[in-house]
Structure 1
Amino acid sequence: MAGGSDVAEATALSCVQCGKPAHLQCPKCMELKLPREGAAFCTQDCFKACWSSHKSVHVKAKLSSLGTGSTGEQDLGVLNEGWQYCLRRGQSRTPKLPHFDWTGKLRPYPISPMRVVPSHIDQPDWAVDGIPKIEPNSELQRVVEIKTPDQIQRMRETCKIAREALDAAARVIRPGVTTDEIDRVVHEATIAADSGYIGVTSCFSYDLLKLVYLFIEIRDGDIVNVDVTVYYKGVHGDLNETYFVGNVDEASLQLVQCTYECLEKAISIVKPGVRFREIGEVINRHATMSGLSVVKSYCGHGIGELFHCAPNIPHYGRSKAVGVMKAGQTFTIEPMINAGVWRDRMWPDGWTAVTTDGKRSAQFEHTLLVTETGVEVLTARLPSSPSVFPWLNA
């Protein structure tokens, strides 16, 4: 992409990136005849720094010119921006909307190219293609590891970075922001900490449980989940939260609050000697009492030097999970709670799970350490975390 073009006449426009007086104009915006206010930059450096998020303006403009609404059913191959629909967990791309018996109102949009991680940052073996190499055959798939003091300290550091990256995402969520912009914020926050990561942006506008980075503009009344996993000093940290976009309806507010409470109630029983299956009993009891359902297709997991390992942590009742908690174990609890039925379907991208009835879903997650006397929430909210949940303020 070429640099910005000079603005011929004197102007009072401000730089989109830094707010200083602007003297350059994005040439693509000029070509598309977009408002100059959102396309002005003071220097080439600011233009380049803002490009990864600014280019979404061009895509939205082209979608509008094609008459493509929220269903996204036009052939978007003409966009020629490197944005394509995802297939097979990102292993292939296509310019055409895949054929599928969609549920709910959302449809996929083209996704942006993979963001670049600096070469000096260590990455896990699954970073490039999403496929773990060591993890599947590790004995830690069968044995729950007791972490050493060194591993625990590294996990504390990693989980703090993950929390700060998630908080950065929470601060930018508002009507009109795209999921790709949220991903950019998470990417830059983790890169600034010299950590490798995968940040999964999950948009719960109607029927989504999980999805890869899609170009979706979130709207007033949506609920949006952002899931961040950081890899740093050889260990992983994993957490997610569901956020409100503008003014949401009462049913969505209750769904998100109940999901938050499910996680908190499950964490409260974590200590040495407790059976892993008890977590699902606590979550299932609270969700069903609120008239909601618990997703059974996904579960919490052990975490450390491996991203996913033993133990599995089902969130539903009457599970067959085996084993008891011991000091030094680390794992996630991450209940998905649905407004309708618990069953889900997979989109053609091989990653996005949606509710079969098109109703909303919410999720919260923490990475936990079992201590001698109870539990330490490694991804706990910080004093600097944004105040986004009304029940916490109350």
Structure 2
Amino acid sequence: MNISIKTKKEIEKMRISGHLAAKVLDMIKPYIIPNITTLELNNICHNYITNTQKATSGCLGYHGFPKSVCISINEIVCHGIPNSYEKLKIGDIVNIDITIIKNKYYADTSKMFIVGHHINKQTKKLCHVAKKSLYSTFKIIKPGIKINLIGETIQKYINTTTYSIVEEYCGHGIGKNFHEKPYIIHYKNYDKTIILKEGMTFTIEPIINAGKKHVFCMKDGWTVKTKDNSLSAQYEHTILVTNNGCEILTLRKTEKINKIYQNT
């Protein structure tokens, strides 16, 4: 399998892209309020990316995707298309997925937002578990480990909860291209052929459902929902494998975790 190993110059460019992608998610937070439409949120992100950051959205036009960001609400698992009729309501959970291109290099990240101040405990717990499932992988990533240990780590954590992992979607290599090899499976699997090496860059983006793992794609060809109409949550970061651990290229200022993990 031909997996790109990034040079120091490429890594510096990806750090810039990652920083910009993270800043979009920090920027949009004050706008996550009742009655705003998903199209309005998309337009705010688009204008910020293009006018303020002087960057490009990696989503817009990708295989025909019509908007600049993916916005997925409640039972929508991923790839929600922003529109003018869908308004946020108090208690909604919202995933906003940002992909930035800057200096020809990509970075990809997403997080959950909860609308309003009166937060249902179960809703909050689902989002927390999804985030923690992603975070659990940072302490094991380093050169020399088999790639399937990432999915095994996520599965081990989710098995301690009542939730399920969506199996149809995975993380991916990223760099000069939006999607590169290798694929990052988020559940226990037996692909032991790929060994992590310093300079690899990829996303980890587990999708966790409150109910069963089964999903379906709507007629628009993009929007994916849970079959049992249960809530779904996802967090995503772009990761660099370092000489002794990993670096989170899309870390947000508001996150209370390390940017660099030494896992020797």
| TM score, norm. by length of structure 2 | 0.88
Partner Cα separation in structure 1 for residue 146 and residue 252 of structure 2? 26
Summarize the alignment of residues 94-113 of structure 1 with structure 2, pairs less than 5 Å apart: none
1:303-314 superposed matches below 5 A: 303-314=174-185
Tell me, yes or no, if structure 1 residue 147 matches structure 2 residue 147: no
Cα deviation digits, residues 313-360 of structure 1 (max 9, x gap): 000112436301111110000000001111110101100000110000
User: CA–CA distance in 1 between the matches of 2:100 and 2:192?
Assistant: 27
1:283 deviates by 0.7
**C-alpha distance in 1 between matches for 2:109 and 2:192:** 22
Cα RMSD (Å) of the superposition?
A: 1.5
Instruction: Describe how 1:288-307 pairs up with structure 2 within 5 A.
Output: 288-307=159-178
Alpha-carbon deviation of 1:180?
0.9
Check the 8 A contact 2:73/2:80 in 1, yes or no. no
Residue number in structure 2 paired with 1:195: 55
Residues 286, 253 of structure 1: alpha-carbon distance in 2 compared, 3 angstrom cutoff = same
Residue 103 of structure 2 corresponds to which residue in structure 1? 233
The answer to whether the 8 Å contact 1:302/1:311 transfers is: yes
> Deviation at 1:231?
0.6
Larger radius of gyration: 1
- Of all paired residues, the percent bearing the same amino acid is 34
> Is 1:343 matched with 2:214?
yes
Q: Distance in 2 between matches of 1:207 and 1:237?
A: 23
Q: Is the 8 A contact 1:209 1:355 kept in 2?
A: no
Partner of 2:79: 210
Matched, 1:281 2:141: no
SS state at 1:310 partner: strand
Match of 1:178 in 2: 37
Aligned length: 244
Give the alignment partner of residue 222 of structure 1, picking from 92, 96, 100: 92
The residue type paired with residue 170 of structure 1 is: K
Using structure 1 for the length normalisation, give the TM-score: 0.60
**Structure 1 unaligned runs (5+)?**
1-141, 388-394
Aligned residue type for 2:109? L
| Contact 2:215 2:225 (C-alpha < 8 Å) held by counterparts | yes
Closer, same or farther: CA 369–167 of 1 in aligned 2, 3 Å: same
Work out whether residues 205 and 218 of structure 1, in 8 Å CA contact, stay in contact via their aligned partners in 2.
no
Q: Kindly indicate whether the alpha-carbon contact (under 8 Å) linking 2:76 and 2:232 is maintained by their aligned counterparts in 1.
A: yes
Q: CA deviation at 1:268?
A: 1.7
Higher relative contact order (CA 8 A, sep 6+): 2
Q: Which residue of 1 aligns with 2:261?
A: none
The answer for unaligned runs of 5 or more in structure 2 is 60-67, 257-264
Structure number with higher strand proportion: 2
Q: CA deviation at 1:201?
A: 2.8
Counterpart in the other structure of 2:112: 242
